[in-house]
Amino acid sequence: MKLYGYFRSSATYRVRIALNLKRIAWQAVLIDLRAPVSAQHSPEFRALNASGLIPVLIDGGQIVTQSLAIIEYLEETHPEPALLPRAPLERARVRALALAIACDIHPLNNLRVLDYLRGPLAQDDGAVNAWYAHWIATGFGALEREAQRLSGDGRHLYGSAPTLADVCLVPQMANARRFNCDVTPYPTLRAICAHLEALPEFARAAPQAQPDAP
Ligand SMILES: N[C@@H](CCC(=O)N[C@@H](CS)C(=O)NCC(=O)O)C(=O)O
């Protein structure tokens, strides 16, 4: 399988973790998001994903986009180890945690949103950083309460084995730290991430472990 991504892309980081957990062999194709390269806007990449966003997975010549759709595709084609529990209600709960990150936090702080704030809306770095920190605090505040209720062992967001929810949490925490957000109010989330980041499948997927990292 080929994974189009970038070391710092947290949506790509999610897929890297899932591929590693499922022991699937994969090859990275670099899409440098930094201006002036901005490879996500090239016609070649837009032909793979019209939205110009990474990650994109190529499997047997077929294109799959959207990190959560990619991970669910991997879950269906490579069921073990499962990233979703078996019972429908538990699956819904894990998906809800993952979507709270992937839909309610991540898109608000994506590169193109920050670029729009800086460019057309003429916001300075202070305002952009305040925007970023606000949406992390809003999302993580709720997630911390959910983690206290749903974590089975204080080392996983749901239950006591890695799930889709953990696959989304660790990259979002890395983003929060990169933007110097205060994460001290989220001790449960921090403990979960500390445990998961030490696992080899998560460590090999980390931004700093990627060949395109500086
Ligand atoms: N919902 C999408 C989000 C993908 C996404 O936003 N990717 C970011 C990197 S983490 C990106 O490509 N940003 C490029 C840009 O904003 O121009 C997914 O989960 O795959």
Is the pTM for the entire model greater than 0.95? yes
The arrangement of strands across the sheet holding 56-59 comes to 27-30, 2-5, 56-59, 62-65
Rounded to the nearest angstrom, the distance between the alpha carbon of 194 and the centre of ligand 1 is 25
What pLDDT is stored for residue 102 in this prediction? 98
Residue nearest to atom 5 of ligand 1 (CA): 53
Q: What is the pLDDT of residues 10-67, one digit of tens each?
A: 999 999 999 999 999 999 999 999 999 999 999 999 999 999 999 999 999 999 999 9
Q: Which atom of ligand 1 has the smallest separation from the CA of 11?
A: 10
CA of 110 to the centre of ligand 1 (A): 7
Contacts 24+ apart (CB under 8 A), 110-119: 111/33
Residue nearest to atom 1 of ligand 1 (CA): 66
Render pLDDT for 105-132 as a digit per residue (tens, 0 to 9): 999 999 999 999 999 999 999 999 999 9
Report residue 168's pLDDT band, with 50, 70 and 90 as the boundaries.
Answer: very high
Q: Which phi and psi (to 5°) does residue 32 adopt?
A: -75, 115
Name the residue at shortest CA distance from atom 12 of ligand 1.
Answer: 53
Backbone angles phi, psi at 29, to 5 degrees: -120, 120
